[in-house]
């Protein structure tokens, strides 16, 4: 059974296509009591150490429970399943990236043209996810959950906003998803690790793609 993809965020009718975007987490997290929050943080610290030591692809709920000296049920209650744990681990890295493209310095942040920001966004995502590729590949093994994650929806909304500001032609929603497909971690890993392409070639492809959009607009 796969989760349905939520409706695409409707554009906000404000000058220059600007939208109010805020930092969001990789997965929806309930508000926890102080002691529960501390326990969750402890489990994430243990999981991060294990992922660094063994690789995120080898991280298991059993291993986290054993290293944290708690019952396996405790880990499942905090994160739901292994994918939930991996998504929680991504939160810190993801919010760093979000802060950079929402409020950071240009060209990734505000202060330059929409096309320049779109160029910088793609290059930033490529570098960011390549640096943490083991964790992203493991967390995104369940594709349907990735597309419903708040962090993915924020990225899509940001790309769509930039496309509207750049006056791109066509179906903005589909175009935004198409551009995000180029930045998919599994595709980048395949091109670099299995096809032997350099990260610089992948980045150059993104620059060319965005430049073509600018020409068409």
- 122-146 pLDDT, tens digit each: 999 999 998 888 888 887 777 777 7
Question: For the domain that residue 176 is a member of, what is the CATH number?
Answer: 1.10.357.10
- Looking up tokens 């175009």 gives 175
Q: What share of the chain is helix, strand, coil (3-state, %, to 5)?
A: 70, 0, 30
Same domain, 86 and 125: yes
Overall pTM surpassing 0.85 (yes/no): no
Give the pLDDT confidence of 183-215 residue by residue, as tens digits: 999 999 999 999 999 999 999 999 999 999 988
* Within-domain flag for 89: yes
Domain span holding position 124: 82-217
Number of domains in the chain: 2
Same domain, 97 and 150: yes
């Amino acid at each position: 059974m796969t989760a349905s993809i939520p409706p695409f965020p409707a554009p906000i009718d404000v000058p220059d296509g600007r939208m109010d975007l805020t930092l969001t987490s990789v997965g929806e997290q309930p508000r926890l009591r102080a002691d529960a929050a501390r326990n969750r943080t402890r489990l994430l610290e243990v999981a991060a150490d294990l992922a660094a030591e063994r690789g995120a692809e080898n991280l298991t709920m059993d291993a986290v429970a054993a290293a944290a000296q708690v019952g396996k049920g405790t880990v499942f209650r905090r994160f739901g399943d292994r994918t939930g744990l991996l998504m929680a681990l991504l939160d810190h890295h993801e919010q760093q990236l979000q802060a950079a493209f929402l409020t950071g310095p240009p060209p990734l942040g505000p202060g330059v043209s929409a096309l320049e920001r779109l160029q910088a966004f793609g290059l930033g995502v490529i570098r960011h996810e390549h640096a943490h590729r083991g964790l992203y590949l493991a967390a995104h093994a369940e594709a349907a959950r990735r597309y419903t994650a708040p962090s993915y929806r924020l990225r899509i909304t940001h790309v769509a906003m930039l496309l509207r500001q750049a006056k791109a032609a066509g179906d903005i929603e589909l175009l935004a998803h198409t551009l995000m497909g180029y930045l998919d971690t599994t595709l980048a890993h395949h091109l670099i690790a299995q096809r032997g392409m350099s990260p610089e070639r992948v980045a150059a492809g993104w620059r060319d793609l965005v430049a073509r959009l600018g020409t068409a607009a």
